[in-house]
A and B are shown apart, each in its own frame.
Chain A
Amino acid sequence: MKIAICVKQVPDSWAEKKMVNGALDRESVDAVLNDLDEYAIEEALRIVEPLNEGKETPEHTITLISMGPDRATEAIRKGLSMGADSGVLVTDASLAGSDAIATSRVLAEVISKGGFDLVFCGTESTDARMSVIPAMLAERLGWAQLTFAGSVKVDAAASKVEIARMTESGVETMSANFPCVISVIEKINEPRYPSFKGIMAAKKKVIENKSLADLGISSSDVGSVGAWSIVADAQARPPRDKGIKIEDSGDGGSKLADYLAEKRLV
């Protein structure tokens, strides 16, 4: 079984963000592996580890796939230190400013050339928060879409997957045969911290670099030039006016009620 995991390097979600010319200024903030992708990596590791146990060379492998600038190798390296086997980074100057349509096209191209059985993703990136890439990959690849999984059961021998899709509308039990695109929600597991041994091992693992030319994609179809949606304008939200702050000395609740009544909120 060959598993691919799509990962993204994102601005640290604890950092304040700046926008320049309608795009996030990625240079100005620390970049980290998207939180939600760690759950996908953890879930895939939990699936392959028992199957690989006792084997000299692992029969079931995990490849991390990312698109981004050179420094996105750091995000891939983090996933490798958790235990994934190898990485692919698509990097090309013309990719900057790509929309989800172009991103899904690039990722789908890498996946379709890699002979994978399953693709795992997080449900969204903490920067764009669109939640569309897994669905777009399923559409482009013509694979089964098993997304928003709160639990995943893989039957490698039968090439079957069953998930519990958990969303605001409820829980759905759904299944499909390989190949599948699976996205996982953060409730599914507790991602491991890379061990010292894992970090050392990751330094020796291979991250393959690919350009757009390697994938046969024209640079005019990606990046801000090829984007099918554009940002015309971005305005920082004005800071909130300074509010009232009181110390509770036994009447805090009544004062709060007075404030709400005065504002006609209750």
Chain B
Amino acid sequence: MTNILILADHEAGKVAKTAAELATFAKRGGSPLAVLLAPAGQADALGSQLANTEIEKVLAVESDDFARHGIAAMVDALAQIIESQKPSAVLIASSARGKEIAGRLAVRINSGVITDAIDLAADLGATQSVFGGSFTVSSRVKTGIPVITLRPSAIEPAATSQTPAIEKVSITISEKAKLVTISNTQPAVKGGRPELTEAKIVISGGRGTNGDFTQVEAMADLLGAAVGASRAATDAGWYPHTHQVGQTGKTVSPQLYVACGISGAIQHRAGMQTSKTIIAINKDPEAPIFDLADFGVVGDLFAVLPQAREAIASKRS
């Protein structure tokens, strides 16, 4: 059986849930072999979190060079592991860092690269949703060892009862991979809300909020949802740029997307139109967002949202 390498992401001592997702994809085409690029002394603590997934074995490299020199050091280690393991593909989670690692790695190992796949077949054919979800594309790497990044939450990870063996690999990071020095790292402040791209429900606000996101946030908290924003809202400084949904922001594809006071310009639609159910609340009956909406309310979000919240709460009680 051929090995498929997955890069297991971690942050602040916790392994990301994308590791189990990548393993589930990898299992379709081979044996999932996880690479863990861990800070010194943390391989076991991180590796033990990979139990109960499809991961069959963990190759752990312990080095503080990853935190100190970043992506170039990670690529250097991965390339050395690929050289010795000769996997049939490399799977990485789609994130700013994941895609950059994939790009550099593909150049290094002379292989083709596919980013932001939403599905992967046993024969390594990838499915991508492009141009804001207006097209579904099947693509394939035809040269080298395919390097493929997969969007978070694209698959429900399979649960197992296995505990993969952790093998520590000693690797020397080359000097060429140490050009950048990272002097300070501030992890993103995670509120109680889920990550935008991973959330099952997203509540977004736009120009119609006039800068007041309290109703949007209250609805999000009631439903355990993430908060998104249109470019108009982030450009106006009403909500952090990291929450922008759209062409130049995040692409989301949740079970439920609620657009509040968002007109639905193509820029915004590009980031959310593959959502399963779309709700729109807008004062303007002509707003293009209504063309996408499964359920649209022509009205003031400051009246509709509190009433909906109350009604949902009373249905639950």
Contact = CB atoms under 8 A, between A and B. Distances in A.
A170 B312 contact: no
Contacts of A255: 297
A161 to B, nearest CB: 10
Contacts of B176: 142
Interface in A237-256: 237, 240-241, 243-248, 251-256
B107 A139 contact: yes
B9 to A, nearest CB: 9
Nearest to B114: A229
Nearest to A12: B266
A51 interface: no
A266 B99 contact: no
Interface stretch (A14-22, A74-82, A202-210): A14-22
Interface residues of B, number: 96
A200 to B, nearest CB: 30
Contacts of B107: 101, 104, 136, 139-140
Contacts of B72: 138-139, 144-145
A235 B180 contact: no
A230 to B, nearest CB: 6
A172 B137 contact: no
A169 B152 CA distance: 14
A132 B247 contact: no
Interface residues of A, number: 83
Contact of A135 (B100, B144, B181, B279): B100
Nearest to B115: A130
A13 interface: yes
A252 B304 contact: yes
B96 A167 contact: yes
A228 B183 contact: no
Interface in B100-155: 100-104, 106-108, 111-116, 125, 129-131, 133-144, 146
B41 interface: no
26 contacts: A19-B135, A36-B248, A132-B103, A132-B106, A133-B103, A135-B99, A135-B100, A135-B104, A136-B103, A138-B104, A139-B104, A139-B108, A145-B72, A168-B195, A170-B188, A232-B125, A234-B136, A243-B294, A245-B293, A248-B303, A252-B304, A253-B307, A254-B307, A254-B308, A257-B311, A266-B315
Given A170-B187, A228-B141, A265-B277, 15 more contacts: A24-B131, A127-B131, A132-B115, A139-B108, A174-B70, A229-B140, A233-B138, A244-B296, A245-B290, A245-B296, A248-B300, A256-B281, A256-B308, A259-B279, A260-B256
Interface of A: 13-17, 19, 22, 24, 35-36, 99-101, 104, 123, 126-127, 129-136, 138-140, 142-148, 166-177, 185-187, 227-237, 240-241, 243-248, 251-261, 263, 265-266
